């Protein structure tokens, strides 16, 4: 995993975990990798993964079953989408709108490119 400098690593790992759940790679109700397993896989300190899991637990996306491990919560996809949607609307959408305006990209062109992206990315996978 390539980490970006502008965002805390534990938040980037939280996005990674969330994506695994949304993509169904870590199904709802199933055990997710342990702190040590994920730390080894991503080549980070286990304390960083622990901070990620604490963050996701506070958001009710994952739950710790004492002595067994962490599991994706039953409503994890809805919680993830809600949280990420809010973050996107507050932080990324204004930047996107500004760039669309400055570059003269209209909504029909954006829609065409979006549909092509969805087709290429998710139907050929």
Residue 2 pLDDT: 86
Helical ranges in the chain per DSSP H: 9-22, 35-42, 46-58, 76-87, 93-103, 107-122
Q: What is the value of pTM for the model shown?
A: 0.80
Which single residue is written with the structure tokens 């963050």? 55
Let me know the angle formed at the C-alpha of 94 by 102 and 22, rounded to the nearest 5 degrees. 125
Reported as a single tens digit per residue, the pLDDT across 74-123 is 999 999 999 999 999 999 999 999 999 999 999 999 999 999 999 998 88
Reported as a single tens digit per residue, the pLDDT across 12-31 is 999 999 999 999 999 998 99
User: 20 CB contacts (<8 Å, ≥6 apart)?
Assistant: 26, 32
pLDDT exceeds cutoff 90 at 49: yes
Residue 125 pLDDT: 54
* Contact (CB, 8 A) for 44 and 2: no
* Contact (CB, 8 A) for 110 and 100: yes
- Residues pairing with 62 in the sheet: 72
User: 65 CB contacts (<8 Å, ≥6 apart)?
Assistant: 71
């Amino acid at each position: 995993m390539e980490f970006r400098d502008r965002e805390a690593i534990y938040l980037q790992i939280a996005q990674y975990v969330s994506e695994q759940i949304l993509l169904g790679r870590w199904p709802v109700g199933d055990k997710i990798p342990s702190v040590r397993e994920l730390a080894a896989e991503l080549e980070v300190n286990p304390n960083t993964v622990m901070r990620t899991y604490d963050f996701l637990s506070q958001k009710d996306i994952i739950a710790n079953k004492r002595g067994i491990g962490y599991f994706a919560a039953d409503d994890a996809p809805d919680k993830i989408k809600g949280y990420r949607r809010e973050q996107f609307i507050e932080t990324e959408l204004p930047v996107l709108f500004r760039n669309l305006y400055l570059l003269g990209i209209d909504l029909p062109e954006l829609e065409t490119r979006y549909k092509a992206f969805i087709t290429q990315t998710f139907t050929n996978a």
